[in-house]
Amino acid sequence: MPCSAPSPSMPHCWDQHSKLLPSVAGITASRVATWSVEQQIDGEAFLLLTQTDLVKVLSIKLGPALKIFNSILMFKSAEKSACNEL
């Protein structure tokens, strides 16, 4: 169930995790922008990505895909914690 009132700390968390993609080896900001447009991936859809989606649909190598997926899981955990604090 989504949080109705996001915690003030959430933008900080999102900022940290959203910066992960371009920092993963071989993934440029322009490549991320291209995926977002071509695959219609917005913030909500990004958080629904699975490791399989990253590897098979977006053609990301396994190592970087694991790092990205771990970041998604950490963000979801932070979001859940923030909602529980409200």
Give 53-79 pLDDT, tens digit per residue.
999 988 889 998 998 899 889 888 887
Position with higher pLDDT, 69 vs 2: 69
Residue 64 within a domain: yes
- Say yes or no to pLDDT of 10 above 50: no
Report the pLDDT value the prediction gives residue 21, as an integer from 0 to 100.
65
Rg of the chain over Cα atoms, rounded to whole angstroms, equals 13
Domain that residue 55 falls in: 21-76
How many folded domains does the chain comprise?
Answer: 1
Residue 2 within a domain: no
**Closest residue by Cα to residue 81 from 17, 13, 20:** 13
Please classify residue 84 by burial: count the beta carbons closer than 10 Å to its beta carbon, then call 0-12 exposed, 13-18 middle and 19+ buried: exposed
Residue 48 within a domain: yes
36-48 pLDDT tens trace? 899 998 888 888 9
CB contact at 8 A, 62 and 55: yes
- Say yes or no to pLDDT of 86 above 70: no
